[in-house]
């Protein structure tokens, strides 16, 4: 029970006053951000990256974990009280949650969302503790060729599975890979620096993340700023009756079961499991007639699912160094900012840091419950901030952070260029996730690929390692060829089944 001892150690680290303060700060910021519909957790972590440069890595990650979980919580408050999902993962919550609130059951809806998130977050974090070490053991056995294949799989899956258009996905991925190439490579050659000394170290990940997520998003929103004012449904202190508990606990558990695996799989995300959970609860409910009119199961399940998926995301990120969503990608960038390489070796090299991070997830979850149950009405007041201040503030903090990294105005011009790239991508429907994954994983994929080819003396067969790489290449082929497979294999088969 090595891990248990490690985890207890981690708790000991988190439970110092200073670290608890950072956890509290993280969940507070995270919830605020989750409540505000215009700002996502990926953007927040990006904006806070430079602030954390003066902190210990452990403190920074305690704070990021709080933001990550807090963002998931906060989204539900807005969904329920305003029918405005703060995050895309709370869209499903809004369906039943807002109906409940309109029917005068806002308190119960908020309570089942908060307690469900706590239950799911805690169970999923336990799963994280159980699942991650075996994954790490497995990952250690992988060689450079397998890693290279795994990163190709990450590229292909975030590009081809998500989003409507593969061409646009690959265009975004390639742009990200190109940005990742900029700077001095491992053999000491300058690539794509055009003689600019500021580019020799590559573009700082902070500048990239802030430029694409914060500046790009703020410009894009400013171009189409919506004018709309809703009304917050007044609510007292969230609470649940006996009947509500009875109807909620099973959806919480089922939602967790949906959320965790989807979070852990590349391109799984939080949207699909929340939707699946909703549909399942509707089918299993003893009160199907209430669905569409405010069924508590329809809030409990999806909310549990989205928090569980947040924990699931951390498994591949910590164990293999693979980000499966935008927030994880930015957190990975943060690791690199500290010179820490996520991946299997993280658990041996930075054991104390990792277990502190995991322990802080438990603590953050508890803090969120304490913070959210009594304070939901206070959070709703945040929605009165005029949008101009929100987006002016984002540009303000983005500039400050990007400047603070290297203290050179050059980075601000770079930031604007990246912001305009992000703006253009949003305008033309190029997905952001492949770009950011390309930037962060690209250099590492090149490193592993070149390492693999070193061993084979430059022969291409060096890219093929053990059975694992075969399996991964097969998966990549299936993902890439899925449209053809769908047309020539699945559809005829289905047709035959129907006629038979």
Partner 1 sequence: MTVLVGYVPSPLGEAALRAAIEQARFRDEPVLVVNTSRGDAYVDPRFAQEPDLDRVVRELVAAGVPHNVRQLMRGRDVAEEIVEIVEAEDVSLVVIGIRHRTPVGKLIMGSNAQEILLRVPCPVLAVKAD
Partner 2 sequence: MSGRTTRPDRGGDQPSRPPAVPEIPAQPAPAAAPAATAGAERAEPGTPDGPAAAPDETDAADAGAEPAPKPDRAQYGVCAFLALVGGLVIFDATTRIGSAINTADPIGPKPVPILLGVLLLVIAAIYAVDVARGGAGEPEAGEDVDLTLPIDWRTVLLLIGAFLVNAVLIDRLGWVISGTILFWGSAYALGNRHYVRNLLIAVALSLITFYTFAIGLGVDLPAGVLQGIL
**Under rule CB under 8 A, which residues in 397-416 are in contact with partner 2?**
397, 399-400, 403-404, 407, 409, 412-413, 416
Site residues for partner 2, window 195-234 (CB under 8 A)? 215, 217-228, 230
d(CA 105, CA 99): 8
Contact flag: residue 17 with partner 2 (CB under 8 A): no
Contact by Cβ (8 Å): 302, 296: no
Stretch that binds partner 2, among 162-170, 197-205, 236-244, 464-472 (CB under 8 A): 162-170
Which partner in partner 2, partner 1, none is near 384 (CB below 5 to 8 A by kind)?
partner 1
Contact flag: residue 283 with partner 2 (CB under 8 A): no
Nearer to partner 1, 272 or 390 (CB): 390
Contact flag: residue 389 with partner 2 (CB under 8 A): yes
| Nearest residue to 77 via CA among 385, 379, 381 | 379
d(CA 247, CA 273): 20
Contact flag: residue 427 with partner 2 (CB under 8 A): yes
Contact flag: residue 54 with partner 2 (CB under 8 A): yes
Which partner in partner 1, partner 2, none is near 383 (CB below 5 to 8 A by kind)?
partner 1
Binding mask 118-157 for partner 2 (x = CB under 8 A): ----------------------------------------
Site residues for partner 1, window 352-411 (CB under 8 A)? 380, 383-388
Site residues for partner 2, window 349-388 (CB under 8 A)? 386-388
Nearer to partner 2, 239 or 428 (CB): 428
H helix or E strand, kind and range, residue 149: helix 144-160
Q: What is the per-residue DSSP string for 317-366?
A: HHHT----SHHHHHHHHHHHHTT---STTHHHHSHHHHHHHHHHHHHHHH
Which partner in partner 2, partner 1, none is near 366 (CB below 5 to 8 A by kind)?
none
* Residue 366 Cβ vs partner 2, minimum distance, rounded to whole Å: 26
Which partner in partner 1, partner 2, none is near 271 (CB below 5 to 8 A by kind)?
partner 2
Q: Is 111 helix (H, G, I), strand (E, B) or coil?
A: helix
Contact by Cβ (8 Å): 367, 24: yes
d(CA 283, CA 300): 14
How many residues at the interface with partner 1, by CB under 8 A?
19
Stretch that binds partner 1, among 117-125, 221-229, 239-247, 427-435 (CB under 8 A): 221-229
d(CA 124, CA 67): 17
| Nearest residue to 438 via CA among 326, 312, 311, 272 | 326
Contact flag: residue 242 with partner 1 (CB under 8 A): no
d(CA 119, CA 251): 11
Contact flag: residue 483 with partner 1 (CB under 8 A): no
Site residues for partner 1, window 7-46 (CB under 8 A)? 36-37
d(CA 195, CA 114): 53
Binding partner 2 by CB under 8 A: which of 236, 241, 429, 466? 429
Which partner in partner 2, partner 1, none is near 428 (CB below 5 to 8 A by kind)?
partner 2
* Residue 389 Cβ vs partner 1, minimum distance, rounded to whole Å: 9
d(CA 271, CA 282): 17
* Residue 354 Cβ vs partner 2, minimum distance, rounded to whole Å: 24
Binding partner 1 by CB under 8 A: which of 153, 232, 376, 425? 232
Which partner in partner 2, partner 1, none is near 385 (CB below 5 to 8 A by kind)?
partner 1
Distances (CA, A) of 121 to 160, 181, 240: 29, 37, 19
Contact flag: residue 291 with partner 2 (CB under 8 A): yes
Which partner in partner 1, partner 2, none is near 257 (CB below 5 to 8 A by kind)?
none
Interior/surface letters 400-438, b for 16+ CB within 10 angstroms, e for the rest: ebbbebeeeeebbebbbebbebbbebbeeebbbbbbbbb
Contact flag: residue 231 with partner 1 (CB under 8 A): yes
Contact flag: residue 243 with partner 2 (CB under 8 A): no
Binding partner 2 by CB under 8 A: which of 1, 4, 187, 384? 187
How many residues at the interface with partner 2, by CB under 8 A?
97
Task: Provide φ and ψ at 184, rounded to 5°.
Answer: -80, 125
* Residue 220 Cβ vs partner 2, minimum distance, rounded to whole Å: 7
The distance of Cα 365 from the centroid of its chain, to the nearest Å, equals: 16
Q: Rounded to a whole number, what is the distance in angstroms from the first to the last CA of the chain?
A: 54
Nearer to partner 2, 375 or 390 (CB): 390
Strands 183-184 and 190-191, sheet pairing: antiparallel
Task: Provide φ and ψ at 15, rounded to 5°.
Answer: -80, 35
Q: For residue 40, count CB atoms less than 10 angstroms from its CB and return exposed for 0-12, middle for 13-18, buried for 19 or more.
A: buried
Residue ranges that bind partner 1, judged by CB under 8 A: 36-37, 78, 82, 84, 225, 227-232, 380, 383-388
């Amino acid at each position: 029970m090595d891990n248990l001892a490690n985890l207890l150690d981690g708790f000991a680290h988190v439970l110092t006053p200073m670290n608890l303060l950072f956890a509290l700060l993280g969940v507070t910021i995270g919830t605020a951000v989750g409540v505000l519909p215009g700002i996502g957790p990926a953007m927040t972590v990006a904006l806070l990256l430079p602030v954390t440069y003066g902190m210990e890595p452990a403190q920074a990650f305690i704070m990021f974990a709080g933001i990550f979980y807090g963002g998931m919580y906060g989204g539900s408050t807005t969904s329920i009280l305003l029918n405005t999902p703060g995050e895309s993962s709370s869209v499903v919550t809004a369906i039943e949650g807002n109906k409940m609130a309109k029917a005068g059951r806002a308190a119960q809806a908020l309570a089942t969302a908060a307690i469900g998130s706590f239950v799911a977050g805690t169970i999923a974090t336990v799963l994280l503790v159980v699942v991650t070490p075996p994954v790490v053991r497995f990952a250690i056995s992988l060689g450079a060729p397998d890693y290279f294949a795994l990163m190709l799989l990450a590229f292909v899956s975030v590009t081809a599975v998500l989003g409507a258009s593969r061409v646009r996905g690959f265009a975004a991925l390639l742009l990200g890979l190109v940005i990742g190439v900029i700077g001095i490579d491992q053999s000491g050659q300058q690539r794509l620096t055009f003689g600019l000394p500021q580019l020799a170290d590559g573009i700082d990940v902070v500048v990239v993340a802030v430029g694409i997520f914060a500046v790009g998003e703020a410009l894009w929103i400013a171009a189409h700023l919506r004018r709309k004012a809703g009304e917050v449904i007044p609510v007292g202190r969230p609470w649940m009756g006996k009947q509500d508990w009875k109807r909620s606990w099973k959806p919480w558990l089922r939602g967790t079961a949906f959320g965790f695996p989807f979070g852990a799989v590349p391109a799984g995300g939080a949207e699909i499991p929340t939707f699946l959970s909703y549909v399942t609860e509707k089918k299993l409910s003893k009160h199907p007639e209430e669905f569409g009119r405010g069924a508590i199961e329809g809030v409990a399940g999806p909310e549990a699912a989205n928090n569980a998926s947040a924990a699931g995301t951390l498994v591949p990120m910590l164990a293999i160094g693979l980000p499966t969503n935008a927030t994880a990608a930015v957190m990975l960038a943060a690791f690199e900012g500290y010179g820490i390489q996520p991946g299997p070796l993280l658990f041996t090299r930075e054991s104390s840091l990792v277990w502190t991070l995991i322990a802080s997830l438990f603590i953050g979850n508890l803090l969120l419950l304490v913070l959210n149950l009594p304070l939901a009405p206070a959070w709703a007041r945040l929605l009165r901030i005029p949008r101009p201040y929100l987006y002016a503030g984002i540009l303000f903090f983005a500039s400050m952070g990007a400047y603070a990294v290297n203290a050179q105005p050059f980075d601000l011009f770079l930031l604007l260029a990246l912001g305009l790239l992000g703006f253009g991508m949003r305008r033309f429907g190029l997905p952001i996730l492949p770009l950011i994954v390309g930037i962060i994983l690209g250099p590492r994929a090149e490193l592993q690929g070149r390492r693999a080819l070193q061993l084979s003396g430059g022969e291409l067969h060096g890219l093929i390692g053990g059975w694992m790489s075969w399996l991964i290449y097969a998966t990549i082929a299936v993902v890439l060829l899925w449209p053809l497979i769908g047309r020539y294999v699945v559809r005829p088969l289905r047709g035959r089944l129907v006629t038979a």
